Each structure stands twice: as C-alpha cells, then as structure tokens.
A and B are shown apart, each in its own frame.
Chain A
Amino acid sequence: MLGGKPLQIATRGLGTTTVFDVTGDIDLAHSPEVRKALLTEIREKKTPKVVMNMVKVRYIDSSGVASLVEALKASRDAGTRFLLVGLSPAAREVLQLSRLLRIFETFDTEEAALAS
C-alpha cells in the first residue's frame, strides 16, 4: 500500500469490557482492519461492552462510518453494548451529516463510558 500512515489498533481488556484505542485515519485504506477487529470482538467473543476510543482518530470517512454502523448492529443482535469515546470534530461532523450520531452511545471520556 502506498503513502498511507499505518493505523494502530491497541486492545485493552478491563473485566467484561474491551477498549479499542485507535490511532490514525479511518479511511478506505484502513476501515477493513477496524471492521474486522470490532466484529471479531462483538460476534465471536461476544464481549458484553466494547468501547472504541477515538481520541486519536482525526479523520473518518463513509467506509469507516459503515464499519461503526455494522459493529453497532452486531452488538444489538448480540445483546451487548458498543460505545464511542472522544469523537473529533471531523468524526462528529460525519456522524451528524449522516444522521447517525443519535443512534450511537457517545462519551467525551473513557471514564464516563466505563461508568455507564
């Protein structure tokens, strides 16, 4: 792959919660990695609460949004929760433009998400 900065996805297990710390841009080059990581955690491991920490995600495109929607649908099917933390202005804008912000549980901080 040319040019692209690598996306980093670090995973932390906190009891029955898994936190994904994502760093980089979620665009067409990287959204498949995010989608795979989230769906594995939700569909296969059936983790009760999955938190996606997006504090270090500066940009997300429509393919990234599609991955988040897929993860949310999978969590609803599995009866688990999928939460978003630390949306950048760009990420918040695309979710608002697509009228999808309201369907996600969003939090400003990881502490707030974990306490919910």
Chain B
Amino acid sequence: MRPRENHRMAGGRLLRVELPSDPGMLCVVRGAIERLTEAFGFSEPEVRSVTRAVDEALTNIMRHSYGGALNRRIEVSCLRIAKKRAANGEGFEVRLVDYGPRIDPAKLRGRKLDEIKPGGLGLHFIRQSMDIVEFKRDRGANVLRLVKFLPQEGRQGN
C-alpha cells in the first residue's frame, strides 16, 4: 500500500474525456481511473472501489440509456474537491453525462440482494463504493455525480 502523503495533484478538474458508448472503451476508462485514483492517494481497495463504480455506471449508460448503440456520446469528468469545500476531507468526484432519454429515478434503486438471480447488481455496486451518488436531468442530459472522500488522517480506508 502506498503512503497517503504521496499524492500531490493540482486542484479542480483532473481529467475530461469523451468516449463512444462502445463497451470496448470500458477497459480504457478503467485504466485511467485506476491511475488517477492511485495518484490521488486512495488505498488499493479504494482504487478498486471507485474504478468499479465508474465502470458500472458507464455500463448502465451503454445498456440502458443508449440501448446498446455503440456510437453515442458519453462525457467523463474527474475533479478534485478541495478540503475546505468538503467536510469529510478531500474528495474525488466523477461526473458522467449522457444524452439518452430521461431516467426514471425510481429505477435507480437496484434489486434486493436476498434473491439469487443474475442481473441488477450494478447500482448496488455503485452505491456501496461511493460516498455520494447523485443523479439529475440537466438541459437534455443525464448527469450522474459520484464522489469518494479520502479517509481522514489516522482512519483506515474502506
């Protein structure tokens, strides 16, 4: 595990990319999020957690918002939330934007885990991995905001 004091990244926006809604791009984004969260100072389990959440959110956009179409636009932005703005310490924020139909918030709950069946786990993984999960419809776009805070000094992550 790397020491947390290793991270020294500039504030504000860390990364902004546009990608097509092609599942073949998922591994590219996972690679970028892994490197970015490592450099941000997250522990290995936290890096896996954030990467998993972003991957699952992108998967949901590709499958449900764009219905499997391969060439629709998805925007991914990663930002640093400064300590003074975040009561919990520094935060790593990811915003995912797609231009599919309006999402019914009632469908963003995920299924219960007490039944053994395939499917419906993606939202569950996202909610378990991130400290903040917010969805809104903004000017014809679906905007998903995911935030993970760095654990406070002296506290173990995850």
Which residues of A are in contact with B by a Cβ distance under 8 Å? 1-5, 25, 27-29, 59, 61-63, 65-67, 69-70, 73, 89-90, 93-94, 97-100, 103
Would you give the 0/1 interface string for B109-120, flagging 1 where the beta carbon is closer than 8 Å to chain A?
000011011111
- Provide 7 A-B residue pairs closer than 8 Å at the C-beta atoms, listed in order of the A residue: A3-B26, A4-B25, A28-B59, A29-B27, A61-B55, A62-B59, A73-B116
Query: Do B48 and A97 have beta carbons less than 8 Å apart?
Result: no
Contacts of A70 in B (CB 8 A): 118
Chain A residue with the shortest CB-CB distance to B28: A3
Minimum distance in angstroms from B67 CB to a CB of chain A: 13
B100 interface contact, C-beta 8 A: no
Q: Are A61 and B24 in contact (CB under 8 A)?
A: no
Chain B positions 93-139 with a Cβ under 8 Å from a chain A Cβ: 113-114, 116-122, 124-125, 128
Give, as a whole number of angstroms, the nearest-CB distance from B57 to chain A. Answer: 11
User: Is A27 a contact of B55 with CB atoms below 8 Å?
Assistant: yes
Assembled-state Cα–Cα distance A58/B24 (Å): 16
The answer to whether residues A25 and B27 also contact, given A61-B55, A90-B48 and a CB cut-off of 8 A, is yes
Q: Are B22 and A2 in contact (CB under 8 A)?
A: yes
**Are A28 and B121 touching (Cβ within 8 A)?**
no
| Contact assessment for A29 and B23 in the assembled complex, using a CB-CB cutoff below 8 Å | yes
**Closest beta carbon of chain A to B127's beta carbon, Å:** 10
B-to-A contact residues, CB < 8 Å: 20, 22-28, 30, 44-45, 48, 52, 55-56, 59, 62-63, 113-114, 116-122, 124-125, 128
The answer to whether B128 touches A3, judged by C-beta atoms less than 8 angstroms apart, is no
- Chain A residues, CB < 8 A from B27: 3-5, 25, 27, 29
Within 8 Å CB of A93, what residues of B?
45, 48, 52
A87 to B24, CA, bound (A): 23
Knowing A3-B25, A90-B48, A97-B128, say if A69 contacts B59 (CB, 8 Å). Answer: no
Distance between A111 CB and nearest chain B CB, rounded to angstroms: 28
Given A4-B27, A62-B124, 17 extra CB contacts under 8 A: A1-B24, A2-B22, A3-B22, A3-B26, A3-B27, A4-B23, A27-B59, A28-B26, A28-B59, A29-B26, A61-B59, A62-B56, A69-B116, A73-B118, A93-B48, A97-B125, A97-B128
Given A27-B26, A61-B52, decide whether A98 and B113 contact each other with a Cβ distance below 8 A.
Answer: yes
A81 to chain B, nearest CB (A): 17
> How far does the Cβ of A80 sit from chain B's closest Cβ, in whole Å?
17
